[in-house]
A and B are shown apart, each in its own frame.
Chain A
Amino acid sequence: MEILKVENLNFTYPLTASPAVSNVSFSVNKGEFVAVCGATGSGKSTLLRLLKREISPLGETSGSIIFDGTDIEKLAPEKSASGIGFVMQNPEHQLVTDTVWHELAFGLENLNLPQNVMARRIAETASYFGIENWYDKKVSELSGGQKQLLCLAAVMVMNPQVLVLDEPTSRLDPIAASEFVATLKKLNRELSLTIIISEHRLEEVIPACDRLLVLENGLVKAFDTPQKAMLKLDEKLLRAMPAAVQLFRAVGGRGECPLDIRDGRRFIEEIFGSSITALPVSEYIHHENIAMRFKNVFFRYERNLPDVLKGLNITVYENEIFCILGGNGSGKTTTLSIAANLVKPYSGTVEIFGKKLKEYKNQSLYRNCLTLLPQDVQTVFMRNTVREELEGAEAEVEMLPFDFAKHMDKHPYDLSGGEQQLVALAKVLASKPKLLILDEPTKGIDADSKYRLVSILKQLKADGMTILIVTHDTEFACECADRCALLFRGELVSEAVPREFFSDNNFYTTAISRMTRGIYSNAVSVDDAVKLYNLNEGGEKPCL
């Protein structure tokens, strides 16, 4: 049964010439899981917001959106508010009230429901989402993943028929993100909830979805099952897709496109030769000088709290890209704060370019020496336009292979996550650091920006910079790092070049490494797998 039908939808923002959404038609059946993908600026968010009357953007609209048989413009306010649920990107600011229980009650209060009905709905929602244990907590005490789960529960408590999500996991770490997607899958399967979701991280969403809506410059490019839609994607969009899809397309696979690791592995077993199982390894030679060194560093935030870092030793050599990976609470961000002298360890020494931190007097550490790009890039911006921001910092825009021109007069907050990251990076680079420190640079950015970021970092390295990155993103670390290390409970537990690091790890590794385990010994990226495919080309198994 059809629950949502969009017909010839056009939308143009005020004072812009070209429409943001043009001639979009599609229909969604009850219980379908639809993923929406497209590059930044392809009209994803605009389209999703148009589906929710209360927050649809201002501008010129034509065409119709039919929800459950009624045009959404003509829906009763209660039906419109509760029938279509909407979850946004930023969990922090979607939360309205100070306590978990009040957040759950907020939507029901707006519907003016009596106390006993609210009590029942809140109770069943809280127990379904496993919120019972933190029901009395302040929302400020929750982790990012819990906050976004609360946002979802606070919408689900209103019992919507369609759930629309606009990049809900882009601010979450990968573990919280996959838990969030798993919850969506559960809602879809158990309650046959109709879900429409746009997402940057598609590794988990694509295998879960029934149909994929591909947008390009406001037009529908494809609306089909993911297997078929994959064949219509261009290279830029392909980068956002699961590794199995990228591999399938890269070797020109035919037939059913694999979507997840399991099918990807089957695909490799079927058509890849295995006479050559390893790629030649060239030894990594690091620079002799040390850029940053932690010696036996211990740190805790307060006297009576437990240690965050327990005798941490790190050596980063000059002119290398060093990636620290690790789960939540392993001390990654703390390590960076110590390196940037924002907090002080209670024991141990930290040297930057052979000089102890305390010998850098009068903020000289931050002049042409070291700089930190924090996780929340909004904390970097101090001006009203990108132009003021960059000129104020005396940034050389030319050095970044990114066209800032069309964004110059926008407010930094109005840019997409990826664009914000690049503007922030440009500003940070203005101080001409020798050591650049990045905290989770891939959080909230799309696949294309990530790709661009990798090439920028490689260019900076070629120009002689040392780069220290903390990340959750295994694919990103695999692409750009010279050496990777795993931080666990305040200590570095392993340290190696990416190829060795990721092929030795079983769980904390890249999708390709998981797919090729036991078939190839050291393939960690899509490029590696493609190389091995080509090396084996003409082997015992012919290409289908």
Chain B
Amino acid sequence: MRTFADSNPIAATIYFLTVSGIAMFAANPVISAISLIGAVVLFVMNNGRKSVSTHLFSAALFAVMALLNPLVSHNGATVLFVMNNNPVTLEALIYGICSALTVVAVLYWFHSFSQIMTSDKLLYLFGALSPKLALTLSMALRYVPLFGTQIKKTHASQKALGLYKDDNIVDSFKGGMRIFSVMITWALENGIITADSMTARGYGMGKRSRFSLFRFKAEDIFLICAAVVFSVLSIYGIIGAEFEFYPYISVPAVTARLAVGYASYGVMILLPVIIGVKEELKWKYLKSKI
């Protein structure tokens, strides 16, 4: 069964970038609210009832950001009360709530994005930009942990050889420095073996192709097209309809154009849910036949 998380990484990235980008730059509380709903739904779909702590953290962040703005910003005409000779205004509070909405929504999107994009997928993405970069990253991911393990092993064997004369910090720091310097030699010496192993397998002959675990399927094309079409529609819809907070709050009138913008964004954030539900139904149907 294929879920949204199994989408081609490029398609998934385009989707996440457009969805969160519109929420970030629209400065439109309605869009932010829709975005937050979609992001939370996707997150819950992926994580189930676990990660209560994430929700608690988000709620706390929301509260702090919403309440901090009126304490700092004193713009706005409607004074609620005066604190320490500073007016706390309704407009600043609303603005705080709206911007907190946007930030929390974008955080949820990024959270889901980082859960879905495993290191293999990220490498695939970088590889799409530059195959050399992808190989370098893959080699670094191999080498850095190897270096770390070797440091630990060297430390243990030097300890048993009596490198450390005493149980004190200065001595262990000196020993640590010596181990680090010898590790540089180790890396260079053994790097020669890696280089040989690479040239022996034909590295450096010229153009390289790139093997990847991910293909483009019909669903991925659909996802990309839908993301592009709906984001163009929603940007077209919401452009020009600006919310103003200071000195008075002014909400743009809901025209047909703006309604199309909201509706398009609404459909867009529901795409993962739609895919998920569709697959779920298909699976239930297929399972009933097994």
Contacts and interface: CB of A to CB of B under 8 A. Distances in A.
A55 B196 CA distance: 6
Interface string B201-221: 111111111111100000000
B167 A361 contact: yes
Nearest to A109: B208
A391 to B, nearest CB: 15
A110 B208 contact: yes
Of A93, A342, A366, most B-chain CB atoms within 10 Å: A93
A97 B205 contact: no
Given A98-B141, A114-B209, A366-B162, A158 B201 contact: yes
A384 B161 contact: no
Interface stretch (B4-12, B182-190, B250-258): B182-190
Given A81-B202, A374-B153, A431 B161 contact: yes
Nearest to B131: A109
B199 interface: yes
Given A363-B165, A366-B159, A379-B153, A81 B212 contact: no
Nearest to B206: A112
A376 B153 contact: yes
B205 A96 contact: no
Given A92-B146, A98-B138, A376-B153, A118 B209 contact: yes
A59 interface: no
Given A98-B141, A363-B162, A380 B157 contact: yes
A90 B191 CA distance: 12
B164 interface: yes
A363 B120 contact: no
Given A122-B211, A342-B159, A158 B142 contact: no
B46 interface: no
Nearest to B190: A93
Interface string A406-439: 0000010100000000000001100100000000
A97 B211 contact: no
A236 B182 CA distance: 35
How many of chain A's residues touch chain B, expressed as a range? 35 or more
Given A140-B142, A371-B162, A77 B211 contact: no
Nearest to A342: B156
Contacts of A102: 138, 211
B255 to A, nearest CB: 48
Nearest to B154: A379
| B interface, over-half SS | helix
Given A374-B156, A413-B189, A428-B161, A54 B199 contact: yes
B109 to A, nearest CB: 27
A384 B184 CA distance: 12
A294 interface: no
B146 to A, nearest CB: 7
Contact of A374 (B160, B164, B191, B196): B160
B198 interface: yes
Interface residues of B, number: 54
A419 to B, nearest CB: 15
Contacts of B205: 77-78, 81, 110-112
B111 interface: no
A469 to B, nearest CB: 15
A158 to B, nearest CB: 7
Interface in A375-402: 376, 378-384
Nearest to B202: A81
B82 interface: no
Of B186, B191, B210, B211, most A-chain CB atoms within 10 Å: B211
Contact of B120 (A85, A88, A99): A99
B139 interface: yes
A97 B135 contact: yes
Given A97-B138, A119-B211, A107 B202 contact: yes
A55 B162 contact: no
Given A88-B196, A109-B211, A112-B206, 12 more contacts: A97-B138, A107-B202, A155-B200, A362-B166, A363-B164, A363-B166, A363-B167, A374-B156, A374-B160, A380-B161, A382-B163, A413-B186
Interface of A: 52, 54-55, 77-78, 81-82, 85-86, 88, 90, 92-99, 101-102, 105-115, 118-119, 122, 139-140, 151, 154-155, 158, 337, 340, 342, 361-363, 366-367, 370-372, 374, 376, 378-384, 411, 413, 427-428, 431
28 contacts: A54-B200, A54-B202, A78-B202, A85-B200, A93-B190, A94-B194, A97-B138, A98-B119, A98-B138, A98-B139, A101-B213, A106-B198, A112-B208, A115-B211, A154-B201, A342-B160, A363-B165, A363-B167, A366-B159, A371-B161, A372-B157, A372-B161, A374-B153, A374-B156, A376-B153, A379-B153, A382-B158, A382-B179
Interface of B: 119-120, 131, 135, 138-139, 141-142, 145-146, 149-150, 153-154, 156-167, 178-179, 182, 185-186, 189-191, 193-194, 196-213
